[in-house]
Amino acid sequence: MMLLMARWQPDARGRLEAAAFELFRERGFDQTTVTDIAARAGLDKRTFYRLFGDKREALFSGSGDLEDVLVKAVSETDAAPFEAVVAGFRRVAEEFFAGRIEVVRVRQSIIDSSPELQERELRKTGSLAVAVAAALRAKGLGETTATLATDSGVTVFRVAYARWVSPGGDEASLADLIAEVADELRAITSS
Amino acid sequence: MMLLMARWQPDARGRLEAAAFELFRERGFDQTTVTDIAARAGLDKRTFYRLFGDKREALFSGSGDLEDVLVKAVSETDAAPFEAVVAGFRRVAEEFFAGRIEVVRVRQSIIDSSPELQERELRKTGSLAVAVAAALRAKGLGETTATLATDSGVTVFRVAYARWVSPGGDEASLADLIAEVADELRAITSS
């Protein structure tokens, strides 16, 4: 019975996420209710709230896995702090974004359409940064160094991601763009 | 009549802000309602909503003025982009934070107590960054340079601010801490 539950829950999550994504794309985020999402997935509203907490969260369900991969990559490398964070984001680019540009673009256009979703995205990025900074401190780095390396790395990722995802954006892979933008940041701050 | 309105509105804003700040400090943000705030200020709930939109906004009313000062400072200097943003934040530190450490600490502890307020703070910082990047682009800088210089400057400000505001934090002025942290960022990214 427990095994059945464990198997059933990921399926329900996946169906609700897919239903939410479709409906947000078709009707817009504000025009979609949790009742609509549950109905499209053939589940009830209570199941949605139990698994996601709120409507926004359906668009951010991969964020825990992404954080795990990033933290592991940052923890395991011997590189200097800023380089470690950049390398971590390049790993994330390869595992979560490579080959998914179309879906990522649609998702981003949904987020860009709603201040509520933008707030949630910022909070997720903030939580990611907290985890990366903690991983750097666990390597013995001081608070300021850990935070500066983390936030500079997040900046590099955000700029590279914005270039990659923009309609008619760069053809380069996200991982390559991250390396390129990191070089540009070095140039700007060393002036 | 219009003049009277124009004079009356800032007073109502100020009274509501002061009432909100007092109540958030006394009872906590979640335990305070807009009705409580309006009652403490001797005004009605509709006036609050007309002036602030929502309860969170009462804690962020200086953000427009701060943005104006920052953008003006960034626009007017001839310094290189990153230096221009750092100089802008030092100006902000002098005009908005110097001599106000006690009030700033209380305000920050209220924000730290509520994920909702943290989201709003992140959105305000995001909007500030958009305005600074626009000011840099208006000086003829490219998108990537403008964004990297802005976000690195925001990072420097945030780290310096966190040091300054933390209980038992640095004795240095916020403006001096900003200069110091900017140097540390240069060192980290030039490795």
Partner residue opposite B123 with nearest CB, options A82, A122, A152? A122
Name the more confident of B29 and B62.
B29
Q: Which residues of A touch B159 (CB under 8 A)?
A: 144, 147-148, 151
In tens, the pLDDT along B134-164 reads 999 999 999 999 999 999 999 999 999 999 9
Name the more confident of B122 and A74.
A74
On average, the pLDDT of chain B sits at 91
Average of per-residue pLDDT across A101-129: 92
In tens, the pLDDT along B59-103 reads 998 888 999 999 999 999 999 999 999 999 999 999 999 999 999
Name the more confident of A10 and B71.
B71
pLDDT, residue A170, reads 63
Percent of chain B with pLDDT over 90: 84
CB-based contact A119 B120, cutoff 8 Å: yes
> What is the SS3 assignment for B163?
helix
Q: Are A145 and B184 in contact (CB under 8 A)?
A: yes
pLDDT at B2 over 70: no
Which residues, numbered 91 to 150 in chain A, qualify as contacts with chain B under a Cβ-Cβ cut-off of 8 Å?
115, 118-120, 122-123, 126, 144-145, 147-149
Q: Is A171 exposed, middle or buried (0-12, 13-18, 19+ CB in 10 A)?
A: exposed
Integer-rounded Cα Rg, in Å, for chain B is 18
pTM: 0.78
Cα–Cα dist A59/A107, whole Å: 8
pLDDT, residue B123, reads 86
**What Cα–Cα distance (Å) separates residue A133 from each residue in B10, B153, B167, B187?**
42, 18, 20, 17
Q: Is B181 on the interface with A (CB under 8 A)?
A: yes
> What is the SS3 assignment for B139?
coil
> What is the SS3 assignment for B57?
helix
Single-letter code of the amino acid located at A15? R
A110-132 burial by CB neighbour count: b if 16+ within 10 A, else e? bbeebebbbbbbbbbeeebbeeb
Q: Which residues of B touch A81 (CB under 8 A)?
A: 188, 191
Q: Minimal CA–CA distance to B143: which of A143, A184, A3?
A: A184
Average of per-residue pLDDT across B112-141: 93
CB-based contact A118 B115, cutoff 8 Å: no
Name the more confident of A2 and B51.
B51
